[in-house]
Structure 1
């Protein structure tokens, strides 16, 4: 069990270091990009992640904040928190990695209000 906690802490530390790199988007920018990431993924505009992966993140957050999970924490003390530490570390790493990719994609595919439109030149047949 201690290895899981140390691994979880290492994962969180790596995610924080990645998010805090010079020139890298800050935590605030990453968090505010999440609704756009979800929307673009579910609309099919962004293929850098899957709907399933994003739903897993939502499920993981729900698991950590769930009152049902409070019982093992109360009964097992520190050991009950180990599973939460692993899940939180996965959430942190996933959010950092997914937002890193998404924000890079957004810089290359700027939106011009509404849906992106593509201009096609050619003959029009009547």
Structure 2
């Protein structure tokens, strides 16, 4: 939500700076200010929500994802193999099915909101893409945590 809010705010700022003509019959200044305010509000709400969720997870003792973007990208094939073999129960098949549906939706020419609608037409694709990337990133981060937690056990068994 932080990313999407920031994107809306940037579009609003771009509308304010570069657009002179009306946007879908609305004044460019009003549209730009509106998008900027909505984007800033969404980004702020997303940041507050993210902070609360992290705090709640810490209080419950849930594991936090580890690794940077590159480590997580390299871990994705291992995660998918382990989930298919049944070695990693942390990734249900329903989540992998949702990932597949999201990929099909992003690639398919059929959209809920067509791209002909300004801004809104791209928003549904952007929302699905952000959800997909966030979900995959979190799952691979948790898988990396699982691998790192299993490492001492493997070393201990080898001795």
Alpha-carbon distance in 1 for matches of 2:6, 2:80 = 28
**Deviation of 1:77 (Å):** 2.8
- Quote how far apart the aligned CAs of 1:66 are: 2.0
Unpaired runs of at least 5, structure 1: 15-23, 111-115, 120-126
The equivalent residue for 1:49 is: 91
Q: Deviations over 1:67-118 (max 9, x none)?
A: 334x811x213111111121112112211211111001111224xxxxx9xx
d(CA) in 2 for partners of 1:100, 1:7? 24
- 1:7 shift after superposition: 8.7
Q: Give the equivalent residue in structure 2 for 1:6.
A: 5
Q: Are residue 89 (structure 1) and residue 130 (structure 2) matched?
A: yes
Q: Calculate the aligned-residue CA RMSD, in Å.
A: 3.1
Matching residue of 1:17: none
Alpha carbons of 1:48 and 1:7: their partners in 2 closer, same or farther (altered >3 Å)? farther
Q: Deviations over 1:23-74 (max 9, x none)?
A: x4121211121111111111111011201101211221221122334x811x
- Of structures 1 and 2, the one with the larger relative CO (CA 8 A, separation 6+) is 1
User: What is the TM-score normalised by the length of structure 2?
Assistant: 0.51
TM-score, normalization: structure 1?
0.63
2:154 matches 1:102 = no
- Where in structure 2 are there 5+ consecutive unaligned residues? 8-41, 51-65
